[in-house]
Amino acid sequence: MALKLYMTPGSCSTGIHILLETLELPFEAWIINIPAGDHLRPDYLKINPRGTIPTLVLDDGRALTDFRSIALWLAQTYPRGKLLPEDAELAARAVELLDFALVQLHGEGFTRIFTAERYVAASGAPGGQQLKDDVQAHGREIVSQAFELLEQRMPAEGYAVGPHFSIADAALFYNEFWADRTGLPLPPRVGAHYRRVRARPVVRQVLAEEGYRT
């Protein structure tokens, strides 16, 4: 049984798509159309009760249902890919940056930009475009501040935590890609990291497969 990746092109699942292709693993890609409500279908909820992406179904039929668990499983199951540094401290820093990308950039920032209506509804205040605009502006501020913090840690050369592409780079990249697509400026070293990762043949291949010009 081949691995199965449930994904949405251009989403956070792009990072997992990149990791799978980096490792040259055979897998089946199943597209989840979120605007159409595919993530809420009973057959998908049976696989991932949270109704989120990405989901990776393993060879034995069990499923991993979030970016962090999938990335760590891939890195630890296929160490030849060097997706986690061998050095314990560098490996810890890679996980730290992975979480920073998933929580601060994605969870706190881009979620407000892309799904502002959730925050308006949760506030209990009457809906309106101004409220959505305010939520999105707050999201852009969070993202900009997070990139400035990342700028202080990003090396001038190489990848996020050393000479090898890691799970941290995959997570940071999809956030940088979102920033590029939405016109949010990237600080110099973060921007250089984005261009460096985007120039990788595997990344260019993944973006082309997901319908983006490279």
Domains, the chain? 3-81 (3.40.30.10), 88-200 (1.20.1050.10)
**pLDDT confidence band for 120 (50 / 70 / 90):** confident
Report the alpha-carbon distance of residue 40 to residue 142 in Å, rounded: 29
The residue length of the chain stands at 214
Average pLDDT over residues 120-133: 74
Q: What is the pLDDT of residues 83-119, one digit of tens each?
A: 999 999 999 999 999 999 999 999 999 999 999 988 8
- pLDDT, mean over the chain: 94
Cβ distance 17 to 33 under 8 Å?
Answer: no
**3-class DSSP string for 116-185:** HHHHHHHHCCCCCHHHHHHHHHHHHHHHHHHHHHHHHHCCCCCECCECCCCHHHHHHHHHHHHHHHHCCC
**pLDDT confidence band for 22 (50 / 70 / 90):** very high
pLDDT for residue 124 is more than 90: no
Q: What is the per-residue pLDDT for 125?
A: 62
pTM of the model: 0.94
Amino acid identity at 44: Y
Q: What is the pLDDT of residues 131-190, one digit of tens each?
A: 889 999 999 999 999 999 999 999 988 999 989 999 999 999 999 999 999 999 999 999
